Structure 1
Amino acid sequence: MSDERPRRRPRERLLRGEPVTEPLPISESLRLTPYRDPRVSLAPEEEAETRKSLDLAVRVGELLLRCGAGTRDVEASVVAVAAAAGLRRLEVDITNQSLLVQCPSSSGTPVTLLRVVRSSTRDFARLAAVHQFVDRIVSTEFDIDRAFEELKAIQREPRLYPRWLVMLGFGGLAGGVAMLLGGQRVAVVVAVISSILIDVLGRWLARRGLPAFYVAAAGGAVSTMLAWAAYNLSQNLPDDYQMRSTGFAVAVAAGIVVLLPSRTMVAAVEDAVTGYPVTGAGRLLTVVLAAAGIIVGVAAGLQLSLRIDSAFDLDLSSPNSLKLDQLTNPNPGLALALIGGAIGAFSGAVTMRSRPRMLLPTAGLGLGAAAVNYGLSHGLDVGATTAVAIAAVGVGIVGRMLALRLGAPALVLVVPAVSPLLPGLRIFRGMYEAIAGSAVGAEGVADPGTGVASLVGAAAVALAISTGVVLGDVMSARFDRPIVQRRRARRR
């Protein structure tokens, strides 16, 4: 009997469209996350049980948003908890300050929950605790009432480290940045003291309801004026204790790095790159406003100091003048750069309240990032932006692998490790060129366009750091399955 099925011609097979794709189960959306292959429970039979399971997932996402997690991590955690609780279909909508989740009950009635996050903080210890909580939920059987109690305990746990230690952490971060930039001893000390005072001032202003833009502007102005005061006072001291003009710039640059919102900057780029443009745009606006406030403050401080101090003039032959060629390519020496990178990363982790067991690994990542950046930019003469991007990619790859071994999300190690690489010196150089007129045109008129170009270069470096970290995290996501499986096997 002959086969009566119609045979497709080669041309028809070549031009045939793709088949219709069915929606993937929510557990399949976790395949490149630390919560891949969750242990799925039976679907809730009652609408009240569905609402309770959904409420647990939403509260996890709310706490992550409050602690500074990225949108991708928040969504993955919400989906993982919902999948482990037996929910089969889920719709998640996340903005900067809210979390909207919906799923159908067993009867088909949609259950919708909304949580609003009215405040946020940098609390990486609590973030790691939530990560471990979700990891236990997706890998072992759990009782939902007990899970609620455990989550409430995480919420009520006191913040890690006393406030005075966090304040010293800001000083250590500024000192590490000053060392990484090649600042002399006096500049490092001034950077440490200035950053501690800026932190005290910022908290005082924030308690009085001043918006973050004005707090950043005040910090930038105070950093510049304190460095100027230290510069002038040091001129009456012996030569070994005098602050040079480059030291002045390094001290201000360190204060700028401390004021920059590094976590929000990385999260904004991560959201935009990974498919969350609305949230990314909102966070990017926050970063732009903070950076604008810093620039306004530094500009005001520079204008005031240039008016009252004749040491900063347009005569670049003066020994006390600011030599921009030294600021463009500082060469601190390998040993000083490595020490500065490690101290800056360690101190940055303290300011973000990472757990004590995370501090030394973070310092190691910061040292490695400084070594790669120094070797490429000074050893191989690679461009500064390219060098810092490659270093950020390496931090993203190693940071994710190491963080999963320690039971934490990658950003807990990655963000403090790359903080010392932020372009504080370029921002200061751009402001000085625009205000002091250090670039002089053919007609002897100061060219403010050179300062704008330096500020654009600073933005390029910041973007290179953020995109490099995200790229490293994405590249390593396909190779961390053995780490996740070993951790779950030990737990079972």
Structure 2
Amino acid sequence: MGEDKPRWKPRERLLRGEPVTQPLPISDALRLTPYRDPRMSTEPEAEAETRKRLDLAVRVGELLLRCGAGTRDVESSVVAVAAAAGVRRVEVDITNQSLLVQCPTSAGAPVTLLRVVRSSSRDFARLTAVHQLVDRLVSTPFDLDSAVHDLKQIQREPRLYPRWLVMLGYGGLAGGVATLLGGGSVAIVVAVLSSLAIDVLGRYLKARGLPAFYVAGAGGAAATVLAWAAYVLTRSLPGPDMSETGFAVAVSAGIVVLLPSRTLVAAVEDAITGYPVTGAGRMLTVVLTAAGIIVGVAAGLQITLRVDSALDLGLSTPQRLNLSDVQPQIVLAFAGGAVGAMSAALTMRSRPRMLLPTAGLGLGAVAVSQGLSRLVDVGTTTAVGAAAVGVGVIGRLLALRLGAPALVMVVPAVSPLLPGLRIFRGMYETIAGSAVGAHAVASPAAGVATLVGAAAVALAISTGVVLGDVLSAPFDRPIVQRRRARRR
């Protein structure tokens, strides 16, 4: 007779503890990712072969970190490549600037590889190429030499778009945001020209080794002073002038151009999905950059308020509209969202085939947020968060159909929704409210409350995008399966 299995009494089953924690299986590590159910090759026997295959996975993760991918995407890509290469037991540890991967050989000896990433850039075209390489490795028979060759080709490719075209993309983003915020024609032109000047100034300062905090501060000050100069100049010249609200809109567009939207989304995603160390590091980067922008705007406002009196900017919350009373400004806002999203994708060097879908996604995001806030009378933060969820859901499904990770479409699409106007309004209320004399039009406490509201909007955008990505994950399986079936 065989060995009898232990019989647990009902009370013992109720009080029995959980099993011992084991390393995360590959099937669980790749669950809800585009690389689920990878095609695994045979496990290498020699240590040298194991090291070569693991090195390929590490170099893929390193390139993803350089291109701005989130920690979850980097880890899933490393695990997927390792699994396709026959390395079934792998441990991955990622920080802001390093990638540490370890696996055992067939004999049990550990193999450890470390890569340090000291700089990163927004290069979504290269990010898409790496995504397609990983998808091909997990879908077809594994060939190490071919995979290494393809990865080197991706690394050697020049960056997409000339620098002058990227600079024009910043101008388009600023113009789209100014249009979305209801700025007039003069304010839109000023926003575009100001963003071009800010980009030139930022590149000049970075080339001199100035840290990002000071570059952001210089950009914020430049945006404020240039908009003020245009406001004063148009008042003294014949023709259309820039109103006080237009001055605020122009500065707000410059703030949106300076805000690190990609890092913000990645930081919140890391914190929510179980990577607190990288999330905290990236969030600190976002906070320092935002602080630099705020300090720069404050310095610019201090200068301008000493020259002229405080302004009545009229930055009130949009009133509820009836369905039969949709004003033309709403249509312009939709166009501004589309242009802003497409321009943001251009600055992040997305591939040309991604630009129009990203513009459509940005238009939809603005339509949802404006519709909820103006037609249904939903709070601005809630409306923006709901729009971000929709962008996360649709963006992932659409990006996978086009052979790209969700980040490539989602981040540019939500860029026009960033709270640039609230940041400027908060700083203006703080500076003008602390002024001595009759020109004080607000209070520092109101300014701080407005800045907290801006942070809430930014958090709603980030958490909404991550929630949308999680909600859409079960629905992308047919897309992944059809794509892999075509390759077989």
Does the 8 A contact of 2:84 with 2:142 survive in 1?
A: no
Hey, what does 1:348 align to over in structure 2? Answer: 344
**Greater mean deviation of Cα atoms: 466-475 or 137-146:** 137-146
Paired with 2:5 and 2:63, the residues of 1 have a C-alpha distance of 59
Hey, what does 2:306 align to over in structure 1? Answer: 307
Hey, what does 1:483 align to over in structure 2? Answer: 479
Does the 8 A contact of 1:54 with 1:82 survive in 2?
A: yes
Hey, what does 1:380 align to over in structure 2? Answer: 376
The change in CA–CA distance for 1:144 and 1:308 in structure 2 (over 3 A counts) is same
Paired with 2:216 and 2:320, the residues of 1 have a C-alpha distance of 27
Q: Number of residues paired by the alignment?
A: 478
Gaps of 5+ in 1: 314-320
Paired with 1:131 and 1:332, the residues of 2 have a C-alpha distance of 41
Paired with 1:23 and 1:326, the residues of 2 have a C-alpha distance of 51
**Does residue 401 in structure 1 map to residue 400 in structure 2?**
no
CA offset at residue 88 of structure 1?
1.6
Hey, what does 1:391 align to over in structure 2? Answer: 387
Paired with 2:138 and 2:5, the residues of 1 have a C-alpha distance of 48
Does the 8 A contact of 1:71 with 1:94 survive in 2?
A: yes
Paired residue secondary structure (2:425) = helix
The change in CA–CA distance for 1:286 and 1:7 in structure 2 (over 3 A counts) is closer
CA offset at residue 242 of structure 1?
0.9
Q: How does 1:175-194 map to 2 (within 5 A)?
A: 175-194=175-194
Q: How does 1:413-492 map to 2 (within 5 A)?
A: 413-437=409-433, 447-492=443-488
Paired with 1:302 and 1:22, the residues of 2 have a C-alpha distance of 57
Paired with 1:360 and 1:446, the residues of 2 have a C-alpha distance of 42
Q: How does 1:65-76 map to 2 (within 5 A)?
A: 65-76=65-76
Q: CA RMSD in A?
A: 2.1
Paired with 1:298 and 1:233, the residues of 2 have a C-alpha distance of 20
TM-score by length of 2: 0.94
The change in CA–CA distance for 1:58 and 1:248 in structure 2 (over 3 A counts) is same
The change in CA–CA distance for 1:328 and 1:218 in structure 2 (over 3 A counts) is farther
Identical-residue share of aligned pairs (%): 79
Paired with 2:435 and 2:110, the residues of 1 have a C-alpha distance of 64
Paired with 1:171 and 1:7, the residues of 2 have a C-alpha distance of 72
Paired residue secondary structure (1:235) = helix
Paired with 1:325 and 1:487, the residues of 2 have a C-alpha distance of 49
Paired residue secondary structure (2:80) = helix
Q: How does 1:51-450 map to 2 (within 5 A)?
A: 51-238=51-238, 241-310=240-309, 312=310, 321-325=312-316, 333-437=329-433, 447-450=443-446
Does the 8 A contact of 1:388 with 1:421 survive in 2?
A: yes
Paired residue secondary structure (1:325) = coil
Does the 8 A contact of 2:429 with 2:441 survive in 1?
A: no
Give the aligned residue type for 1:278: V
Does the 8 A contact of 1:182 with 1:332 survive in 2?
A: no
Paired with 2:293 and 2:145, the residues of 1 have a C-alpha distance of 47
Paired with 2:424 and 2:408, the residues of 1 have a C-alpha distance of 28
The change in CA–CA distance for 1:36 and 1:5 in structure 2 (over 3 A counts) is closer
Paired with 1:414 and 1:271, the residues of 2 have a C-alpha distance of 16
Per-residue CA shift, 1:206-251, capped at 9, x if unaligned?
Answer: 0110110000000000000000000011112446x11110000000
CA offset at residue 142 of structure 1?
2.6
CA offset at residue 324 of structure 1?
3.5
The change in CA–CA distance for 1:465 and 1:446 in structure 2 (over 3 A counts) is closer
The change in CA–CA distance for 1:439 and 1:454 in structure 2 (over 3 A counts) is farther
CA offset at residue 43 of structure 1?
0.4
CA offset at residue 28 of structure 1?
3.4
Paired residue secondary structure (1:337) = helix
Give the aligned residue type for 2:126: R
**Greater mean deviation of Cα atoms: 29-38 or 329-338:** 329-338
